[in-house]
Structure 1
Amino acid sequence: YDLNGTDTACKMVILANALMEKRVTCRDLQKVEGIEKITVEDLKEARKKGCMIKLVGLADEKRLLVEPMLVPINDKICVDNTLNAVEFKTDMAKEIIIIGHGAGPIETASKMLNDMIEIFKTNNH
C-alpha cells in the first residue's frame, strides 16, 4: 500500500475530512499514482534538477490527489528514510510543517500497539 499510493490516499481522505470539513472517500481522489514505477534513471534526473521524487498527497479546494512529485532538496518537506512530512497552509497561521517518524517496521508496530491500547481503554470504560 505504501508504494502504490493507497496508504497516502487513505491519509489524505482522513485529513481532508477532519481538517477541511469535506465528506470524501478514496473514490473521490482525482488521481492515485504510486512510486512503484519510478526508475533509478528518474531519480538521477531529479537529482540533476536539485530535487528528489517524493510521493505527495495534495488536498485543497479543487484537488485531492496522490502522485510522485519533484520536491526541491532544500525544501522543508524533502525528508528521508522513515520520516514523513505534512505541510498545512492556513489563512491565519500561514504555513505549518510537521515532521516525524512514520514509516518502518518498528514505527508501524509501535502505532499498532498504541491503537490496540486505546481500543482496549475505550471498550473497558
Structure 2
Amino acid sequence: MPSERRPARCCWPPCWACARSRRPRRLKLIPLGAQAAPTNRALQFWTKADDWSGPVSLGLVQADQSLDVALDRLPALQDNQLFEITLEPAAGSPIGRPTGPVLYIGRAVLVR
C-alpha cells in the first residue's frame, strides 16, 4: 500500500524572512507561504531594538509580495532587534504602534 504524502510546501508553518544589504542600507522582507490578511484588514511590519522607546512601522505588507525598505530613517540594525507583523485596520495602525494581534515575530541575528 503506497504511503500518503503531503504536498510540497514552500514553508510550513507560514513565515517571513528578512535580509539586510549594507550598501545601500536596505531591508528586504520575503514571504514564505504567508497568509493574506482578511478583508478590511492589513498586515503591518514593525521593528524595535532593545533601547528604543517604542516600535517603528516599516510599512504595510502583502502576503504574496516582497517588501524592500530603505533604512535611512532608522539607527543601525542591532543583534536581537525585534521584527513583527501584526494584523491592523486596512489603512494600518491609527496610533503609530501595533494595535492588533502579532501574527509573525522574530529577532535579528548577527551573522559573522
Please report the TM-score for the alignment, with normalisation by the length of structure 1.
0.28
Counting helix residues as a fraction of each chain, which structure ranks higher?
Answer: 1
Name the structure, 1 or 2, with higher relative contact order (CA <8 Å, separation 6+). Answer: 2
TM-score (norm 2): 0.30
